[in-house]
Amino acid sequence: MVAIKNSEKVPTKLRPLFEAVVELTDRFCAEHLNDEYAQLSRRATAALSRKRPSPLERGRTDTWACGIVYALGSVNFLFDVSQEPYMNATDLCAGFGVGKSTGAAKSKAVRKALDLFQLHPDWCLPSMQAENPLTWMLTVNDIVVDMRYMPLEVQQIAYEKGLIPYIPGE
């Protein structure tokens, strides 16, 4: 049985489905990627479980697991050979026993359901947050600013409001 954290709360009816998908993503991420991908995959699976109706109720768990990791890989440049970790889409899909076109289609469904895009601040790997410009861009007085270059007092307010993940330089 998979331990569920607060960010992974799912409706009781969907808990078995959530656990089945997470078992696959956890195993895949442990063997091929890292714990950051495993944690994001859990959060994404939980978010999909809470959708009304949940898309996870339609389709196989292996295809959803593949689609979730594929979508998060797209957000975090997993398919870019210059990144670490790196994996190509064909190998990722094969690791789940899923065809590449099926994995890509499920990835598209996940990206659409969760409104994902590259460098999405909420779905970026924690190790990439510091270098993700979208994490730090906020609108202050109708002007988009990079919080890394704002005065410390402004950074502290943004941090306290949960708008930035940490105070740069501290």
Residues 110 and 67 sit within 8 Å (Cβ to Cβ) = yes
Please give the pLDDT value at position 17.
Answer: 96
- The domain spans of the chain are 6-117, 132-170
Residues 6+ apart with CB under 8 A from 113: 48, 51, 55
Helix or strand or coil: residue 96?
coil
Terminal alpha carbon distance of the chain: 39
**CATH 1.10.472 for the 6-117 domain, yes or no:** yes
Looking up tokens 């402004």 gives: 154
Question: What is the distance between the alpha carbons of residues 108 and 124, in angstroms, rounded to a whole number?
Answer: 17
**Residue 111 near residue 71 (C-beta atoms within 8 A):** yes
pTM listed for this prediction: 0.85
* Count helices and strands in the chain by DSSP H and E runs: 7, 2
The model's pLDDT over 53-112, given as tens digits with 9 standing for 90+, comes to: 999 999 999 999 999 999 999 999 999 999 999 999 999 999 999 999 999 999 999 999
pLDDT at 2: 44
Q: How far apart are CA 51 and CA 123, in angstroms?
A: 17
